[in-house]
Structure 1
Amino acid sequence: MAEDCIKIDTYKETSHDGRYAMRKEFTFHTFDGTGLYMVQDVTALPKAAVVIVHGLCEHLGRYEYLTERLNEQNLMVYRFDHRGHGKSEGRRVYYDHFETISDDVNAVMDRVKNHNQGLPVFVIGHSMGGYAAACFGARYPGKADGIILSGALTRYHTKCAGELPLDMPADTYVPNALGDGVCSDPAVVEAYNKDPLVEKEISVALLNSIYDGVEWLKKNSFSFIDPVLILHGANDGLVSERDSREMFGDIRSGDKTLKIYAKLFHEIYNEVEKDEVIDDTILWIEKHLS
């Protein structure tokens, strides 16, 4: 799988000891040749690599603070825009097969593991990215050293897009109405709604592919055996915390942890209490570095 370098920037970390890190931006061509925009934040002496998988309609740039916090702990971070999202290629916000999104995660993981042999690799997936990471874990067990699911859509209890599947042409687009529910912090909601890289419409094909994937995941969660940390906001109005509770009960991981945060909305990594969530994430990763 070829890749094209876009640019490499050197920047100074905001950590107390003044470490320097390197940011690399490049296009990675996934399993079917689609170009995915990727960013790698390299630390000098990385203890592990972390792949961040973003949610529906958003992009990798919304995970800058989480990346900085991980870098401070010498965790190298890779992020990519899903196909049809952000700066990646592909038909906008469109999937016609549920396997595609987790196959992209798998291709990215192969790239990261091949370039960092011997280094533990973890996955953090949020919302639709959590769904992608959960499907990846069930379809490709044993590839990740650990998986963190944040507000992951794994059972579709909230039905924020209505009853699925939608009986409409696949190339029909519906408005992105997620904005007000993403976070309890009005500033985060305002930034989300004004962000030009946040997609404003969602294809019926993508929504129906998620339906197919969730139905598959419900029947195949027993295939998920990797160490996993499942995190969810108790007041998440977009993806019910019941999704995470049921996923936790159904998987066969011998090493699994579930934490539901009181009062937090959907984007727990952007809530006012985000540092508590990130601290819990880092602590869990540190415990799994062996």
Structure 2
Amino acid sequence: MNRQEGFVMTSDESEIYLRQWLPKNEPRGIVQIAHGMAEHVGAYTECIEALLKAGYGVYAYDHRGHGKTVQQEEDYGHFEPNVGWDQAVSDVIFVSELIRKKHTCPLFLLGHSMGSFLSRRAVQLRGELYNGLLISGTGGNPGLLGVIGHKVATIEMKLRGAKMKSPMLNFLSFGNFNSHFKPNRTKFDWLSSDTKQVDRYIEDSLCGFICTTSFYRELFNGVLMVNKLEAYKKTPKELPIHIFSGDRDPVGNMGKGVQEVYEMYKKCGVKDVTIRLYENGRHEMFHEVNRQEVFQDVISWLDEHVV
């Protein structure tokens, strides 16, 4: 296995921390991972190992405000006001272009949770870069709640400053997620039914932090934008898409929001779109009790779509 990691300079001259894993032989394809909010690439070890074993190369970086990309403590969980979401989407595209320059094999984008919304947006803007899109733990249009969230975040940012951590916005975003899993053992029971994986998340200092007012404002804006019909219509019709989630994932409204995303792609004429809702699965299917099955399903889908 060939592994490399380090900082790379992006198109706006910021630095992100990028890792690359390549199998011993020529990769069958490359999977680019866009991780979720308040976590980092280091949490994807098992998934990456499974992909490498199946002959795929993996590229993954820590988003701005996350993991090793953060060089100053105050930048944890921060996106710059008015530009942060667009910068995060541009980073996805920047890394994809980097991969395209290095490799001729197919490129698949895999986005989880916040990374799923960033990936869906990247595909809307630069769909020609990809041979397939894998969407994990995504959600549908938050509608009025999303609009209210964005307004509250705007007020909170003006009152408290863009870089202030916001427990209130954190509660607005995730406060009721755990209520589906009473009696609660931890604040993060909604992530997985595997208690060891929940404990790993809690013990990881690079996971589970509270983000800034500006971050939440950018996130609400990004999620609302990517779920608009005119945005969906920019997705290439020929791009194969596989959507998967737990049917008890509160981010996907217990499967309803995930189904909505699937229906929207169908409505917009995407020809090859599939959905898989795992019974009793929660938010992080890559850390669920049946994760080996999930890895195998992802690999089977990749194998079918390697041209």
- Give TM class, smaller chain: 0.7 to 0.9
CA offsets, 1:2-24, max 9 Å, x none? xxxxxxxxxxxxxxxxxxx1211
Q: Any idea what SS the aligned residue of 2:156 has?
A: coil
The amino acid across from 1:105 in the alignment is: V
Higher relative contact order (CA 8 A, sep 6+): 2
CA offsets, 1:77-136, max 9 Å, x none? 1111001100004732222333222111000101111111x2111011100011111111
1:93 maps to 2:93: no
User: Which deviates the most, 231-240 or 272-281?
Assistant: 231-240
Structure 1 residues 24 and 158: CA distance shift in structure 2, 3 A: farther
Paired residues in the alignment total 268
C-alpha contact 2:19 2:61 (8 A) present in aligned 1: yes
The amino acid across from 1:68 in the alignment is: E
Query: Which consecutive segments of 4 or more residues in structure 1 shift more than 4 A?
Result: 157-160
TM-score, length-scaled by structure 1? 0.86
Q: Any idea what SS the aligned residue of 1:257 has?
A: strand
Q: What is the CA–CA distance in structure 2 between the aligned matches of 1:31 and 1:250, rounded to whole Å?
A: 31
The amino acid across from 2:244 in the alignment is: L
What's the counterpart of residue 84 of structure 1? Answer: 65
What's the counterpart of residue 7 of structure 1? Answer: none
Distance apart, 1:163 and its partner CA: 3.4
Q: Any idea what SS the aligned residue of 1:104 has?
A: helix
Residues 67-216 of structure 1: pairs in structure 2 closer than 5 A: 67-89=48-70, 91-95=75-79, 96=81, 97=83, 98-116=85-103, 118-156=104-142, 163-166=149-152, 167-169=155-157, 170-175=162-167, 179-216=188-225
The amino acid across from 1:265 in the alignment is: R
Structure 1 residues 49 and 153: CA distance shift in structure 2, 3 A: same
CA offsets, 1:193-225, max 9 Å, x none? 110112521112111112211222222111122
RMSD: 2.0
Distance apart, 1:164 and its partner CA: 3.6
User: Which deviates the most, 26-35 or 86-95?
Assistant: 86-95
Structure 1 residues 22 and 159: CA distance shift in structure 2, 3 A: farther
Question: Greater strand share, 1 or 2?
Answer: 1
C-alpha contact 1:128 1:153 (8 A) present in aligned 2: no
Distance apart, 1:154 and its partner CA: 4.4
Identity within the alignment, %:
26
Match of 1:224 among 235, 248, 253: 235
Distance apart, 1:286 and its partner CA: 0.6
Q: What is the CA–CA distance in structure 2 between the aligned matches of 1:153 and 1:31, rounded to whole Å?
A: 29
What's the counterpart of residue 287 of structure 2? Answer: 270
What's the counterpart of residue 283 of structure 1? Answer: 300
C-alpha contact 1:248 1:256 (8 A) present in aligned 2: yes
C-alpha contact 1:51 1:109 (8 A) present in aligned 2: yes
